[in-house]
Amino acid sequence: AQLENLTSVPHDKQKIMGLPGGLLKDGDDLSKKIKKPNQKITLLGTAVAQQLKEPAKNTVFVEDLSDEERRKVLKEREVETLPIGLVNLGNSCYMNATLQALYAVPPLRKALLE
């Protein structure tokens, strides 16, 4: 019943593999078949379609915010908004990407700025 709630696969359509002795049979107890903690098993079956629910909270993307709202959010999250990198001179985009990745590492950024 718990697998059915987690996966939406009805009990009669479930096939459980990865256990000693092959497939789990209808009368077998899954808890007795599992020998090790965190043992991986495979559940095969077709889930029953459920009606989608509207999310409780709408997702807001940074790109959709006004400039003022964006500044406020970035300040709250302590995100530095200054441009990082070099002016693109043709093939310097690869170097720019590397600099941006390295600049995102706080200890390295602090060492470079000191």
**Domains of the chain, residue spans:** 2-44, 83-114
* pLDDT tens-place values along the chain, 114 residues long: 677 888 888 888 888 887 777 777 777 777 777 778 888 888 888 888 777 778 788 888 888 888 888 888 878 877 666 666 677 788 888 888 888 888 888 898 888 788
pLDDT value of residue 62: 80
Burial class (CB in 10 A: 0-12, 13-18, 19+), 109: middle
- Its pTM stands at 0.37
Is 39 in a helix, a strand, or coil? coil
Whole-angstrom Cα distance, residue 82 to residue 84? 6
Residue identified by tokens 């009368």 is 27
Contact 44, 15 (CB under 8 A): yes
| CA 42 – CA 88 distance, rounded (Å) | 50
